[in-house]
């Protein structure tokens, strides 16, 4: 019996070479190809705060803007932001609440917040502003956040609303 030269089986690699390569396995046949680069972890959704390798400021200004607008419209008492503000800023916030800057909606309309625009003018500061729609009126709320105290907790150091 003679064998055909173009039907010969290719030589097999030694088992040690095959087992040294890592494989990705996700359950489908097309993903079972060998790879030499490590897998990168999936990035958490934008709405999730924290996580490894994430900046702790991510989403901070948006979360604070929502709480601040709730206080300014009367949905929350101003005391709930006391530990998140400096003493001077709490005085500014109290004056805005007393003046009723974001109150006076007719028919109990809920405020709608636009996107929160924030910038970091210095490594230890975040300045942000947000447009608030209350019925037919539009307001702007601006604030500044800085890490304060021995723990470095972010606190609001200035607030303004018009």
The pLDDT of residue 9 is: 56
What's the pLDDT tens digit per position in 53-64? 445 456 889 999
Q: Where are the domains of the chain?
A: 60-161
In the predicted structure, residue 161 carries a pLDDT above the cut 80: yes
What's the pLDDT tens digit per position in 65-123? 999 999 998 888 989 999 999 999 999 999 999 888 787 555 567 888 899 999 999 88
Q: Selecting from 3.30.450.40, 3.90.1150.10, 3.40.50.720, 3.10.450.50, what CATH number does the domain 60-161 have?
A: 3.10.450.50
SS (H, E, C) the chain: CCCCHHHCCCCCCCHHHHHHCCECCCCCHHHCCECCCCCCCCCCCCCCCCCCCCCCCCCHHHHHHHHHHHHHHCCCCHHHHHHHECHHHHHHHHHHHHHCCCCCCHHHCCCEECCCEEEEEECCEEEEEEEEEECCEEEEEEEEEEEECCCCEEEEEEEEEC
């Amino acid at each position: 019996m003679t064998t055909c030269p173009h039907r010969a089986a290719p030589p097999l690699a030694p088992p040690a070479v095959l087992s040294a390569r890592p494989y990705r396995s996700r359950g489908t046949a097309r993903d079972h190809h060998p790879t030499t680069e490590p897998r990168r972890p999936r990035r958490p959704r934008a709405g999730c705060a924290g996580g490894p390798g994430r900046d702790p400021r991510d989403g901070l200004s948006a979360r604070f803007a929502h709480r601040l607008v709730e206080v300014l419209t009367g949905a929350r008492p101003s005391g709930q932001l006391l530990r998140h503000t400096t003493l001077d800023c709490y005085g500014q916030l109290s004056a805005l609440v007393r003046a009723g800057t974001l109150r006076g909606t007719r028919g109990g309309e809920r405020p709608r917040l636009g996107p929160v625009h924030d910038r970091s003018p210095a490594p230890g500061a975040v300045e942000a502003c947000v447009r608030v729609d209350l019925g037919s009126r539009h307001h702007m709320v601006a604030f500044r956040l800085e890490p304060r105290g021995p723990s470095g907790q972010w606190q609001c150091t200035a607030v303004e609303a018009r």
